[in-house]
Structure 1
Amino acid sequence: MYKPQLLFLLFLAPTLHGLDVRITGKEAGVDVKNEYNRTYNQCWTFSGFGALTLNDRYTLKTGLALWETTVAWETDAFVSASAALPLPIPFPVYADFAYMLNAMPDYETSSHTLLPALGVRGKYAGFALGLRARFSVFYDDPPIFEPILAFSGYVNFFNSEPFRLGLGCANYDDFIAGNFGSYYFNLNSKIRLLKFLFLVNGLDLYQTGSVGLAANLYGLAFNMGVVFNW
């Protein structure tokens, strides 16, 4: 009965007494996305997340999102962990693991996704490769298992404390891991407003066809949110 209170105190605490663990970073944010989808026309996504960095090496992150249109809605949630690997090389390599839940109650469907990945994250560029294992459930039918390659990459044209501007390409994000051909391009920015407050923006061009890299049908989405760091 005290678990929510303990998690809240953990998020606020600077150290975990009795353990050699220091909370070296805390982050929380909210975001609103408006997109044009060829299936549902216009739709909205409202999301929030929180993250903890431990010992400047490990990151724990979780989030919840609500996607809605005039005819359907979906709830998405994720939990992820990331660790910087102590390798004797000049660039940082990370091991990531994520669990994603996507549910559409109106259609009595849901999917559970496990996504382990390895990646390089630099100040101006990075990439990651992983294997997405998705289990989809459709009403009374047996679950469908789909193993698919997951990829992501980014380039930052500017990356300073007050301002960042970058371009990314991936077939997954924090909340959803798509098929191999369900990739998107993302132009994003992060602007410092106050000492602990940042404004984030993104413009997505994503593939909505059914033939992967040969598709010529695309959707557009714009998102805006705020992020708190302390």
Structure 2
Amino acid sequence: MTQMFRRSAATSCLILALLAAPAAAAAEDFSPAERALFVTNQLASLKPPATLNYSYRKSGSLEAGFDDSVSIALRAQTDGSCCAATAKFLSGERRLSLPDVESAQGNPVILAFLERDIREMQRLTKGQANYFRKRIRMAVYQGAALRPVTLSYRGRNVAGQEIDISPYLDDPLRPRFEKLANKQYLFTLSDAVPGGVYAIRSRIAGETADAAPLLVEELRIEGATPATPPRQP
């Protein structure tokens, strides 16, 4: 496994800071999904200062849902390059405390979403956060496939790609949290949207085929301020 992911399992405070470090491993050490999610410089086309804005919705039958927002404020580094990043992930009592990233390349919103998700899995199952991190990183490394998709953004169709993983289906500890074991994560990426992340969703299906989902959490791009021209294909 890559140096990036070994470190990301160490502490929750480091999980975002890892985005600042250049990939030290050879390209062949990363799976295609790892490169798309964690190694690609998704902020390369942005000119700071800028803020990436996302909507966030939680729904499902397991517990009360809500609508909220997420923002990633980007500012120039001391040498003028992009970007140092500050995440505001949800609001009020739900706000997730995250460290600033002083030299971000990948979009911090990906690991921020996963960090919240991992803490929620820990809350719901009483399991260990590092265990859930391990299952997610192994799923991205071993079993994740990329597929092309067409997305709608700002009134036009743009090219993107999707990556989905189900980290717990073959989990040896699955009986401890069987109700949540079918959890699926869907990452939707596009170079045509600012910050490269179109949406991220986690979903736990209901107990029967016709039942409503137990839990759905979805983050979706709203845009950037100041407005950032999309990348050209």
Query: Do both share a fold (TM > 0.5)?
Result: no
TM-score, normalised via structure 1 length? 0.37
TM, length-normalised to structure 2: 0.37
- Structure with the higher helix share, 1 or 2: 2
Q: Which is greater in Rg? A: 1
